Amino acid sequence: MEFNLKVGMSYKAELQVELKDTAVSLGSGSVKVLATPRMIALMENAALNAVDADLPEGYSTVGTHLDAKHMAATPIGMKVYAEAELVKIEGKKLTFNVVAYDEKDKIGEGTHTRYVIAVDSFIEKTNQKLNG
């Protein structure tokens, strides 16, 4: 199946850091600053939204790899955003450059791989794990 995706598609996902977004709350650290897993989730969300609306009904993408650096801490109350840009399309494999910023600094950067999937068959195959 052909997909209507183009290199250069992008999206910006934003959030204001709350206690629930911190390393303490997510169990990834002992400091009340934006957790690395939360930054990663924001990067993945930006990549998902860069292409999802342009896929046919019944299709989506799933993340399979993310290589990122978390370079600066962000306190509770500050806004952060992640941008994803589609840089390579290889059939169903999509590669994105991702970057994250808070109100003062670049806080993260990396690359993210997602695959286009047919949702129903993906869920059916995944649910087969329950049957042994």
22 catalytic? Reply is no
Q: Where are the beta strands (DSSP E) in the chain?
A: 10-16, 59-70, 79-90, 93-102, 106-118
The 10s digit of each residue's pLDDT in 24-70 is 999 999 999 999 999 999 999 999 999 999 999 999 999 999 999 99
Exposed e or buried b for every residue in 101-132, given b needs 16+ CB within 10 A? Answer: bbeeeebbbbbbbbbbbbeeeeeeeeeeeeee
Q: Is 65 an active-site residue?
A: no
CA pseudo-torsion sign 24, 29, 32, 33: negative
Confidence of residue 117 (pLDDT cuts 50, 70, 90): very high
Q: Which of 22, 44, 109, 113 is catalytic?
A: 44
pTM, 2 dp: 0.95
CB-CB contact of 45 with 96 (8 Å): no
Among candidate residues 22, 70, 74, 109, the one labeled active-site is: 70
Question: Does residue 27 have a known ligand-binding role?
Answer: no
Give yes or no for a contact between 44 and 61, defined as CB atoms under 8 angstroms apart: no
Q: Which tokens sit at 91? A: 């059939």
CA-CA distance, 3 to 55, in Å (whole number)?
6
- Was domain 10-131 assigned CATH 3.10.129.10? yes
CA pair distance 85, 52, nearest whole angstrom:
13
pLDDT at 1: 61
Q: Could you give the percent of the chain with pLDDT greater than 90?
A: 95
Q: State the catalytic residue, choosing from 2, 14, 22, 36.
A: 36
Q: Confidence band (pLDDT; 50, 70, 90) for 21?
A: very high
> Is 38 labeled as ligand-binding?
no
Which strands make up the sheet holding 10-16, listed edge to edge?
10-16, 79-90, 93-102, 106-118, 59-70
For 80-92, what is each residue's pLDDT tens digit? 999 999 999 999 9
